[in-house]
DNA sequence: GTTAGGG
DNA sequence: CCCTAAC
C-alpha cells in the first residue's frame, strides 16, 4: 500500500517527497518503507525522474535554445517538444512542481553512487521520450496531426529502446555517459556512437571521465544551477543506488531499493525488472491517466484503438485538470458579470457553460455533452431609477423587463467562439462542441423571435413584433417585440430629457402591490432549473403555450410625479368621466398610457389622497397634488351630469361660472401638457 | 370603442 | 395593471 501511495503521490502532482535526512525520520514517514515493491519503487523513481526531466526540458529549452536539439537520447525521430503556451497535460504541469526541493540533496548523494546510473538513465530517457511524446500527442492532436501514427512511432521507439537496453546495456551505458557529460544536446552523438553500438574499449576511461564530470557538474549545479539536467541524473542515481558510506545517512532509505537495484544491475535478470518497471510505469501512466493498454503487445495489437483511447483519455486528463481552473474562471466571470451588468450582445447569452466530462465521456461510442448554464447575461437593457428607489424595486424593474423580453418570444441560439452556429442539422461533434476546449467557447443566446428570418418566428405574434425588427446589439433599440420596443423606447427617452417632459422626476419605484411581481413571473418564458440537475438549465417555453396560456402582462410602469401632475390638471379641466379626452389631452404621445390606465391611476390617486401618508407606498406624491386630486374628485362628483357635450373651454367657462374654480382652468389653458 | 368598476 | 360588464 505504501508503494501505491507513493505512486499516487507522484501522480497527484509529482511532488517527490523530500527525503528525510535521517533514516528514522524516513522510517517514521514510511515513505520508502516497503522493500518488496521494487517495481513500483522503480516506477516511482522513474516517474519522479520523468518529472525532473521534463523540468529540465523546459528550463533548458530557454537556456539551450541556441544549441538546437536537446532531446534525450531516444532516437532520431523524437518528436519535437512544442511550446507550452497550449494546454499541457496535467502530468507535465504537475511534474514541474515540488521536485526541485530535494534534487540538491539527491545530487549530493549521487556523487557517491553513480555506477548504476545508466540503468535508470535508460528508463529516464524512455520516460522522457514517453512523456515528450505524450505532450506532443496532445499538442499535435489539437493541431490536427495524425496522432495515431505518432503513437505507433512512439511505441516503436519504446520497443526499440527496450531491446537496446536489454541487448546492449554496455553500449547504452556509454551513451548515457556521454549524455551525462554533455547534456541532452549530445544525444545525437550518443545515438550515433554509443547507442548505436560503439566499441567499449575505453570504458574505464569513460567512467573516470564520467565521475570527474559528475563532480564538476555537481559544483556547477550547486553554484548556478546551470545544469539541472545533472541534478536530475544524479537524483536518479541516488534513488537506484545505495552505496555504503553514504554520508548523508540515507542508506536506510536506499536499502529499500536495494532489491530493485540489485535486480536491475544483473544482466540476466536485468530485463525482467526493467520490463516490469517499464510496464509498471506505462501501466500507471496509462491506468492513472490514460487507462489504456498496459503493455506493448496490447498496443501493437490495436494501435488504432489505442490511439483513439489515448486521445480520449488524454482529453479526459485535460478536462479533469481544466475543470478546477474552470471553476475559478467561472467564478471570476460571474463576478465580472455582476459588475459589468450591461453588455452589448444583443441578446441573452449564457456566459458560462460547463459540462461534466467524466460522466458524459464514459462511453466513447456515444458520448454525451452536458451543459449547464450558470449565468445569464442580459444585454442592452437600460434602467433609470431614482436614487431613492429600493433594491427591491430595482430588482422588480429588471425582472419585469427581462421577463417581458423573454415572454416576447425568444429562440435559443448557439454561439461557438462568438460565431453563431446556424446549421441546426449539424451534430455537436461536427460542430466541435463535444470537447472541453470548445465548451469554454460555447455560449447560448436567446434570440428575439423578431430577429429570426424564419417566418415561423412570427407566427401567432402580432405583426408589430415583426415590424420592430432591428439589428441585435443596437444600443438604442434592442428589439424583442413591440412591447419591449415600447419599454426600451421609453427607457431610452428617459435618458434623454429633451424628449420627455417627465424626464427628471421619473420613478421606477413600485408604489403598489408587490404581489403583482410574483404573479407576473408565473408564466414567463424561461424556467430556471436548479443547478443541481444535469439537464440544460434554461428551458424556453414555446411561444404558442406562452401566448395562449398566459397573455403577456404589460410592464409595470408607475406613474411619475410629472405624470400625476399632468393627469390631475387634465382631470381638473375635463372631469372624471372623459378619460379618452384626458388621454388625448395630456398623454397623447405616451403610448403606454391608455385611457384605462389614466382612469385607474386617478382611482388610485383618490384612494391615496384619502389614506394617511404612512400607508402610502411608492414614490411620494406631493401633498399639494393629492389635495388637488381630492378637490377635483369632489367637484366632478358633484358636476358629473352637467358636462356632457361641451368642449373643454365651454365646460371650463361653465364650471368657472358655476363654481369657484377658475384658477384651475387658467392653469390648464396656459400650460397644456405635451407627452411623448 | 369607451366607461366604470371589481380584482 | 387586468378584466369585463355595460353602454
Nucleotide nearest to A554 (CA to C1'): C1
Nearest to A619 by CA among A561, A535, A569, A543: A561
Q: State the Cα torsion A56-A62-A65-A71 to the nearest 10°.
A: 20
Please report the pLDDT score of residue A577 as a whole number.
Answer: 87
In chain A, where the domains are located:
391-448, 561-639
Whether any strand C atom is under 7 angstroms from the Cβ of A580: the reply reads no
For residue A437 the three cell numbers come to 476546449
Nucleotide nearest to A603 (CA to C1'): B5
Residue A643 scores a pLDDT above 70: no
Is the four-CA dihedral A572, A574, A580, A582 of positive or negative sign? Answer: negative
DSSP string computed for A300-316: HHTHHHHHHHHHHHHHH
Residue A264 scores a pLDDT above 60: no
For residue A654 the three cell numbers come to 361653465
* Beta carbons within 8 Å of A441's beta carbon, 6+ residues apart: A416, A417, A418
Residue with cell 533514516: A23
Please report the pLDDT score of residue A597 as a whole number.
Answer: 92
Nucleotide nearest to A552 (CA to C1'): C2
pLDDT, one tens digit per residue, over A582-602 is: 998 899 888 889 999 999 999
Q: State the Cα torsion A17-A20-A26-A32 to the nearest 10°.
A: 40
Nearest to A102 by CA among A31, A34, A35: A31
Per the structure, the residues numbered 547 to 576 in protein chain A that have their CB within 7 angstroms of any atom of strand C are 551, 553-559
Say which CATH architecture domain A561-639 belongs to.
Orthogonal Bundle (1.10)
Mean pLDDT of A286-290: 30
Residue A341 scores a pLDDT above 60: no
Whether any strand C atom is under 7 angstroms from the Cβ of A596: the reply reads yes
Residue A624 scores a pLDDT above 80: yes
Describe the crossing of helices A228-240 and A103-111 by its angle, rounded to 10 degrees.
70
Distance CA A352, CA A6 (A): 37
Residue A138 scores a pLDDT above 60: no
Is the distance from CB of A470 to CB of A477 less than 8 angstroms? yes
On strand C, nucleotides with any atom < 7 Å from a protein CB are: 1-4
Global pTM value? 0.27
Is the distance from CB of A6 to CB of A48 less than 8 angstroms? no
Residue with cell 467561472: A330
Please report the pLDDT score of residue A125 as a whole number.
Answer: 52
Which range in A31-45, A114-128, A353-367, A580-594 is most confidently predicted, on average pLDDT? A580-594
Nucleotide nearest to A593 (CA to C1'): C1
Q: DSSP class of residue A481?
A: S
DSSP string computed for A210-251: HHHHHHHHHHHHHHH---HHHHHHHHHHHHH---S--TTS-H
Mean pLDDT of A179-190: 33
Higher-pLDDT residue of A445 and A271 is: A445
Per the structure, the residues numbered 521 to 580 in protein chain A that have their CB within 7 angstroms of any atom of strand B are 576-580
Residue A580 scores a pLDDT above 70: yes
The per-residue pLDDT of chain A, averaged, comes to: 46
Please report the pLDDT score of residue A426 as a whole number.
Answer: 67
Please report the pLDDT score of residue A616 as a whole number.
Answer: 87
- Distance from residue A601's CA to nucleotide B6's C1', rounded to whole Å: 15
On strand B, nucleotides with any atom < 7 Å from a protein CB are: 1-7
Main-chain phi, psi angles of A4, to 5 degrees: -65, -40
- Distance from residue A659's CA to nucleotide C1's C1', rounded to whole Å: 35
Distance CA A657, CA A647 (A): 15
Main-chain phi, psi angles of A18, to 5 degrees: -70, 125
Nucleotide nearest to A516 (CA to C1'): C1
Cα distances (angstroms) measured from residue A77 to each of A421, A499, A533 = 41, 74, 49
State which residue has its Cα closest to the C1' atom of B3. A577
Amino acid at each position: 500500500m505504501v508503494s501505491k501511495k507513493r505512486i499516487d503521490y507522484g501522480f497527484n502532482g509529482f511532488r517527490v517527497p523530500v527525503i528525510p535526512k535521517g533514516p528514522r525520520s524516513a522510517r517514521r514517514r514510511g515513505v520508502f518503507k516497503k522493500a518488496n515493491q521494487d517495481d513500483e519503487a522503480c516506477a516511482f523513481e522513474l516517474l519522479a525522474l520523468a518529472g525532473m526531466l521534463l523540468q529540465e526540458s523546459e528550463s533548458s529549452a530557454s537556456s539551450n535554445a541556441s544549441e538546437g536539439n536537446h532531446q534525450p537520447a531516444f532516437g532520431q525521430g523524437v518528436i519535437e517538444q512544442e511550446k507550452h503556451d497550449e494546454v499541457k497535460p496535467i502530468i507535465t504541469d504537475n511534474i514541474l512542481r515540488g521536485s526541485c526541493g530535494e534534487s540538491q540533496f539527491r545530487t549530493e548523494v549521487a556523487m557517491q553512487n553513480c555506477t548504476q546510473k545508466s540503468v535508470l538513465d535508460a528508463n529516464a530517457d524512455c520516460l522522457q521520450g514517453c512523456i515528450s511524446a505524450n505532450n506532443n500527442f496532445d499538442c499535435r492532436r489539437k493541431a490536427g496531426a495524425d496522432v495515431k501514427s505518432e503513437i505507433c512511432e512512439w511505441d516503436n521507439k519504446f520497443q526499440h529502446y527496450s531491446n537496446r537496453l536489454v541487448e546492449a546495456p554496455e553500449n547504452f551505458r556509454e551513451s548515457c555517459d556521454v549524455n551525462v557529460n554533455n547534456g541532452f544536446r549530445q544525444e545525437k552523438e550518443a545515438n550515433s556512437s554509443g547507442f548505436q553500438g560503439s566499441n567499449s574499449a575505453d570504458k574505464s576511461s569513460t567512467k573516470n571521465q564520467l565521475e570527474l564530470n559528475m563532480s564538476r557538474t555537481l559544483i556547477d549545479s550547486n553554484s548556478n544551477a546551470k545544469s539541472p539536467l545533472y541534478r536530475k541524473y544524479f537524483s536518479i542515481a541516488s534513488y537506484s543506488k545505495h552505496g555504503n558510506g553514504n554520508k548523508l545517512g540515507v542508506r536506510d532509505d536506499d536499502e529499500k531499493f536495494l532489491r530493485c537495484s540489485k535486480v536491475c544491475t544483473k544482466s540476466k535478470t536485468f530485463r525482467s525488472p526493467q520490463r516490469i518497471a517499464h510496464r509498471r510505469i506505462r501501466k500507471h501512466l496509462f491506468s492513472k491517466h490514460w487507462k489504456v493498454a498496459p503493455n506493448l503487445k496490447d498496443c501493437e495489437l490495436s494501435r488504432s484503438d489505442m490511439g483513439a483511447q489515448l486521445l480520449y483519455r488524454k482529453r479526459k486528463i485535460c478536462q479533469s485538470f481544466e475543470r478546477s481552473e474552470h471553476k475559478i474562471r467561472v467564478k471570476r466571470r460571474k463576478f465580472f458579470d455582476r459588475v459589468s451588468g450591461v453588455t452589448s450582445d444583443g441578446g441573452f447569452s449564457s456566459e458560462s457553460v460547463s459540462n461534466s466530462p467524466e460522466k458524459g465521456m464514459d462511453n466513447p461510442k456515444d458520448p454525451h455533452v452536458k451543459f449547464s448554464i450558470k449565468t445569464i447575461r442580459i444585454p442592452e437593457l437600460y434602467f433609470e431609477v431614482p436614487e431613492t428607489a429600493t433594491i427591491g424595486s430595482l430588482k422588480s424593474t429588471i425582472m419585469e423587463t427581462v421577463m417581458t423580453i423573454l415572454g416576447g418570444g425568444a429562440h435559443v441560439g448557439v454561439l461557438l467562439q462568438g460565431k453563431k452556429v446556424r446549421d441546426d442539422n449539424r451534430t455537436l461533434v461536427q460542430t466541435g462542441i463535444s470537447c472541453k476546449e470548445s465548451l469554454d467557447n460555447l455560449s447560448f443566446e436567446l434570440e428575439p423571435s423578431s430577429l429570426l428570418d424564419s417566418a415561423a418566428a412570427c407566427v401567432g405574434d402580432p405583426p408589430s413584433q415583426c415590424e420592430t425588427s432591428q439589428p441585435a446589439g443596437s444600443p438604442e433599440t434592442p428589439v424583442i417585440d413591440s412591447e419591449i420596443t415600447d419599454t426600451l423606447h421609453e427607457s431610452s427617452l428617459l435618458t434623454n430629457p429633451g424628449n420627455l417632459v417627465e424626464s427628471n422626476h421619473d420613478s421606477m419605484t413600485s408604489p403598489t402591490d408587490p404581489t403583482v411581481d410574483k404573479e407576473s413571473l408565473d408564466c414567463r418564458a424561461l424556467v430556471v432549473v436548479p443547478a443541481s440537475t444535469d439537464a440544460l438549465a434554461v428551458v424556453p417555453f414555446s411561444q404558442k403555450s406562452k401566448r395562449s396560456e398566459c397573455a403577456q402582462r404589460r410592464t409595470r410602469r408607475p406613474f411619475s410625479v410629472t405624470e400625476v401632475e399632468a393627469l390631475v390638471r387634465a382631470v381638473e379641466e375635463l372631469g372624471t368621466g372623459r378619460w379618452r379626452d384626458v388621454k388625448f389631452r395630456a398623454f397623447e404621445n405616451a403610448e403606454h398610457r391608455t385611457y384605462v390606465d389614466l382612469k385607474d391611476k386617478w382611482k388610485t390617486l383618490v384612494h391615496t389622497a384619502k389614506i394617511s401618508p404612512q400607508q402610502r407606498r411608492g414614490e411620494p406624491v406631493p401633498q399639494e397634488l393629492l389635495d388637488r386630486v381630492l378637490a377635483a374628485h369632489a367637484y366632478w362628483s358633484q358636476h358629473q351630469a352637467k358636462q356632457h357635450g361641451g368642449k373643454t373651454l365651454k365646460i371650463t367657462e361653465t364650471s368657472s361660472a358655476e363654481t369657484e374654480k377658475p384658477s384651475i382652468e387658467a392653469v390648464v389653458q396656459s400650460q397644456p401638457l405635451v407627452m411623448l
